[in-house]
Chains A and B, each alone.
Chain A
Amino acid sequence: MTGPVPQPSARVGTSSDRLRRLLALVPYVVSRKVVGLTETAAAFGVSERELVDDLNMLWCVELRAPDPYCPIDLSYEGGEIVVSQAESMDRPLRLGVDEASALLVALRMLGEVGQVASVPGLAEGSALSRTIAKLEAAAGEAAAPSAQVAVQVDRIAESSVAARLREAVAARRLVHLSYYVPGRDEATERDVDPMRLLVVEGRTYLEGWCRRAEAVRVFRLDRVLRADVLEAAAQVPQEAEPVDVDRGLFRPSPDDLRVVIELSPTGRWVAEYYPCEDVADLGEGRLRVVLRTPDGEWVRRLALRLGEDGRLIEPAGLAAEVRSEAAAALAQYGAGAADLGGSGRGVS
């Protein structure tokens, strides 16, 4: 399935972001003794100009009573930051609950992924468990609420496939995949130069250069019927652009079909399962969704599956095909089929 993935609105800096940064800046330099302006700006995600403004503000802090003094002394001459006096500002603020939870939940999820995809670097007793233990210790009380958020990653029935593909990625070897394409209901054979494994929305994927399609493709591991690691070295061409995971795995293309479906309350799952370009409320729980996909066969199958829970509006040609396919299928059930249902709620 392809289609646009709705983007979460970009997070703009909250009003207190700068204060957080200022409190972290002195200890960042102190713990490194000397550090470059460029490198520091990159670590804090600001421009060098902003960083210099921050340093100046820190340097200007003045307490007036009981005796006036400047608690922080620093310099950044020649592009090197040195803090010569930091007073009580030499250590960062402890982690808040949200901060500790964000990292701990993610680290525990990596542990699950490690098990599912047999990633040696993420196994029990690896760097991962050590990191979790150290972070829990450093976070103290703030770590506790993270136990109330859990992430479960899909088990892949064929976890040896994951392990083999993972090895192929590491060893840069060409793989041969036997891959099931449900949209076309067929097993396809292809050679793939593996790039990396992705875990998105709980599913594991192999990203690689598909020699058959001559393009970067993403393969769901639970649809890999067989994976053979070949002797040949992987040769990922220069033009192979990794998928920008943060913009969604599947990007629509201008050539994609524009699909319009009207869904009953029972068919609303379509809007939850597939990225929709548009979702309009038709009242009484009904929806009209717009999807993008290059795959007409996938649309045909979806419409047949939906039955009366979804009416395919566009493309009109496909809608006509769906009706004639349904008629042909019904004809095989004989005259008795004519007496059955067809109105009211489906059986599911």
Chain B
Amino acid sequence: MSKRKTERLLSLVVCLLSSQRYLTATQIRAAVPGYPDSFDAFKRMFERDKEELRELGIPLDMGTNGALDEEMGYRIPRQAYVLPDIRLEPDEAAMLALAARVWRRAELAGAAAGALLKLRAAGVEAEETGQPGIEPRLTGEAAFGPLWESVRDRRPVTFSYRAAGRSEPQQRKLEPWGVVNRHGRWYVAGHDRARDAVRVFRLSRIEGKVEFSGPRGSVSVPDGTDVRELVAEWDSHPVERQAAVLRVRAGAGYGLRRRATREQPGSDGWDLVDVPFSDSGWFAEHIASFGADVVVCGPADLRDAVITRLKGALA
């Protein structure tokens, strides 16, 4: 933004905010310096300026001062413009400073800093104290920005998504209901239009751009939707638990023994260890990572899965 434009917009805000009455475009042009002489050029520039103010979140009212006024006028209603009074104790202000740092590596860093700026302008002393000795951080993801906008503005989106284990990405159409960070990873949950069902997507598996595919306000989130719950359900492993019987070399396999229900030392340098598991695919990979220190005695399908893994590593 050029210096002249900044000056003009600043004057425009002061002008519209100071006036109790609606000001017509002609009155605004007379009061605010910096508009061009030609009325048409002024109108075009004024339209763009109004858009700039809206993007900054400045409320702009249109109306007339009386029934006899023919031309519409503009003003910024003070009530809607000002941040309501907020008084924070020092410990509360410290929380705000800590909260603003959470986004430092992620998408909403600018918004958090902007909020802090306004709160400081309201008299809040948000000092960066060392308290309370803990530093939480969220991490960014390219798709977060557009998905947050679509959730905020209730707009449907399309994106290309590569589901786990798929070789080709697929085009998805989603009415997004919410964005959730679970165990450090971002997910979006909503209504999948093509499948006419609730679906959860991991943001890191979205490829390329997220495009808006409908107008603002065209997505409605069903009452009582809990996006956290949806993502938790999608993310949870089957609960059916089995027990593996393993031969583990003495002194090795600490990561397995940690979770063992039984450890029986053997005389041949190998211990018999029982370990419960629920996801056999993941558990087979875990066992394979111990290499020649662990042998699966049962169940048979786990044993076969580990052998398949090991052969894959041999290739």
Contact = CB atoms under 8 A, between A and B. Distances in A.
B1 interface: yes
Contacts of B273: none
17 contacts: A18-B6, A61-B7, A91-B122, A102-B111, A102-B115, A103-B116, A110-B98, A150-B179, A166-B134, A197-B135, A198-B134, A198-B135, A200-B136, A203-B184, A286-B167, A304-B288, A308-B315
Nearest to B301: A347
Contacts of A71: 14, 18
A27 to B, nearest CB: 4
A150 B231 CA distance: 10
A101 B204 contact: no
A303 interface: yes
B17 A145 contact: no
Contacts of B166: 265, 285
Interface of B: 1, 3, 6-7, 9-11, 13-15, 17-18, 27, 30-33, 52, 55-58, 78, 80-89, 91-96, 98-100, 102-123, 130-140, 148, 151-152, 162, 164-168, 177-185, 202, 204-205, 221, 227-228, 232, 252-255, 258, 280-282, 284-286, 288-295, 301, 303-305, 307-315
Interface string A1-35: 00000011001001110111111110110011000
Interface in A43-57: 43-45, 57
A58 interface: yes
B95 A347 contact: no
B310 A330 contact: yes
A9 B253 CA distance: 42
Contacts of A212: none
A330 B134 contact: no
B102 A110 contact: yes
Q: Determine the main DSSP class of B at the interface with A.
A: helix
Centre residue among B10, B135, B177, B310 by max chain A CB count within 10 A: B310
Contacts of B88: 131, 134
A329 to B, nearest CB: 4
Nearest to A90: B82
Contact of A332 (B17, B57, B292): B292
Contact of B52 (A16, A66, A94): A16
B84 A326 contact: no
A341 interface: yes
Interface in A145-194: 145, 148-154, 166, 169-170, 180, 182, 185-187
B118 A92 contact: yes
Contacts of B136: 106, 109-110, 113, 153, 198-200
Given A99-B115, A323-B313, A149 B121 contact: no
Interface in A201-231: 201-203, 225
Given A110-B95, A307-B310, A325-B292, 10 more contacts: A92-B121, A93-B82, A96-B57, A106-B99, A107-B96, A134-B88, A148-B151, A200-B136, A322-B313, A342-B315
Contact of A61 (B14, B102, B120, B288): B14
Given A119-B132, A149-B151, A135 B184 contact: no
B118 A93 contact: yes
A135 B86 contact: yes
Interface residues of A, number: 133
A245 interface: yes
Contacts of B137: 198-201, 245-246
A96 B113 CA distance: 12
Given A96-B111, A98-B108, A330-B310, A307 B285 contact: yes
Nearest to B178: A148
A139 to B, nearest CB: 9
A14 B111 CA distance: 12
Contact of B312 (A32, A169, A197, A308): A308
B105 A92 contact: no
B309 A304 contact: yes
Q: Rank and list the top 9 A-B pairs by shortest CB-CB distance, nearest first.
A: A308-B312, A348-B281, A307-B312, A202-B184, A201-B184, A285-B167, A121-B132, A31-B123, A342-B311
A14 B227 CA distance: 32
A240 interface: no
Given A16-B56, A148-B151, A109 B135 contact: no
Contacts of B3: 57
A284 interface: yes
A347 B78 contact: no
A268 B281 CA distance: 15
A304 B287 CA distance: 9
